[in-house]
Amino acid sequence: MPEADEVPPAQSATLRGIREAHDRGFRTVLSLKFPKAGTSFPSPGSAAMAAELARLDRVLPLVLGTVEIVTIGNEPFIESMPSERDERLNQFYETVARHVIEARADLCGADCPTHLYMGALNRLDLRQNRTAAVERYLTFVRDTPEIEGVDLHPHVPDEARIQDFLDYTIPRLRPDQTFLATEFSLVWYWQQHMTDRIPAAFAQRYGYAPETQVWEVIGEAIEDPFPSHKWNDLLALSPWFESKKHLLRDVMGLLRSTGRLAVATYGFRQIPSMTADWSPTKAPWLLNSVFAPLTVQHRGQALATPGYAWIDDFRRLQ
């Protein structure tokens, strides 16, 4: 959303891209992102809140009636100051949501094809994150007829934790509501293994010292992308990764088995923020991606190479 103060929304690369995708026949999901990690939430009725809503009014006419799903918020309990993850967060997002609901009615009418969700909630597998503000957030979702559900971002260290997300969230929704999972991964599990020694077979095959750590080899691939066979060998010979190579199949099976899943999406390609300032403690988001253009050599004609493990299940799940 802050981009709308710098770039006219009609010229926004994000909004132009999603509208073009829609025009090509794709169904689309757009999250309205309010980054507040460094600034306080404006109070309802204040001049600052009026500015927030005026910004929304410059964006919504380009979105409502075109995008199939609009998620109000991105990760509010991360994109906020820890001291304000209380009723101030709730008041802000409730005010924004009501404004979007009113705008949809005015701009799009009763038969508007754009569905509204609230989003997105993180690490609800951890009991300390099930706060009063989270409860109020879900209560607002449940009690607001125009909101069709909630977005979940289960990035977890263990697939079983995703069930904890669902067990907590779904009973707090109306029976007719559904959920999105616009992000999910085992990124915190990957991170636990960044300082492991590389597999002995990989070290021998490619001439590495036995004590070389996984993050160091990934760092080499960032500096000078590997041939696909070398990248695949690093991951396939690592039991911690190889044992999870059907993550997409397994997680999608779990999400779909609830009967309440509306849409799930998954990280499609590596982006520069995943490789910047690489270190043993940086979250290894780059291991999630279906395509690995930043760690694996292109296949010619600038065609990115699929990352190891995900592409076959990704195709089957479409």
Distance, in Å, from the CA atom of 79 to the CA atom of 34, rounded to the nearest integer, reads 7
Q: Which among 59, 288, 46 has a CA at the least distance from the CA of 185?
A: 288
Contact status, residue 65 vs residue 109, Cβ threshold 8 Å: no
| pLDDT, position 249 | 96
Q: Which among 122, 134, 28, 130 has a CA at the least distance from the CA of 71?
A: 28
Residue 194: strand, helix, or coil: coil
pLDDT tier at 300, thresholds 50, 70, 90: confident
Matching residue, tokens 């001439």? 207
| pLDDT, position 222 | 97
pLDDT digits (tens, 9 = 90+) for 273-284: 999 999 999 999
Superfamily of domain 2-184: 1, 4-beta cellobiohydrolase (3.20.20.40)
**310: amino acid identity, one letter:** W
| pLDDT, position 318 | 86
Strands 69-72 and 115-122: parallel
Report field, pTM of the whole predicted structure over 0.85: yes
| pLDDT, position 299 | 80
Distance, in Å, from the CA atom of 237 to the CA atom of 296, rounded to the nearest integer, reads 17
Q: Which among 122, 161, 129 has a CA at the least distance from the CA of 254?
A: 161
Bridge partner residues of 150 (DSSP):
118, 179
pLDDT digits (tens, 9 = 90+) for 220-232: 999 999 999 999 9
pLDDT at 161 over 80: yes
| pLDDT, position 236 | 96
Tokens of residue 261, six digits: 């899943």
Distance, in Å, from the CA atom of 234 to the CA atom of 196, rounded to the nearest integer, reads 12
Average pLDDT over residues 166-190: 97
pLDDT at 303 over 80: no
**Proportion of the chain above pLDDT 90, given as a percent:** 95
| pLDDT, position 302 | 64
Burial of 22 (0-12, 13-18, 19+ CB in 10 A): middle
- The percent of the chain in helix, strand and coil, each rounded to the nearest 5, is 45, 15, 40
Tokens of residue 280, six digits: 């043993």
Contact status, residue 288 vs residue 306, Cβ threshold 8 Å: no
pLDDT digits (tens, 9 = 90+) for 60-102: 999 999 999 999 999 999 999 999 999 999 999 999 999 999 9
**Proportion of the chain above pLDDT 70, given as a percent:** 99
pLDDT digits (tens, 9 = 90+) for 15-29: 999 999 999 999 999
- Indicate the helix (H) or strand (E) that contains 181: strand 178-181
| pLDDT, position 304 | 79
Residue spans per domain, the chain? 2-184, 190-244+273-318
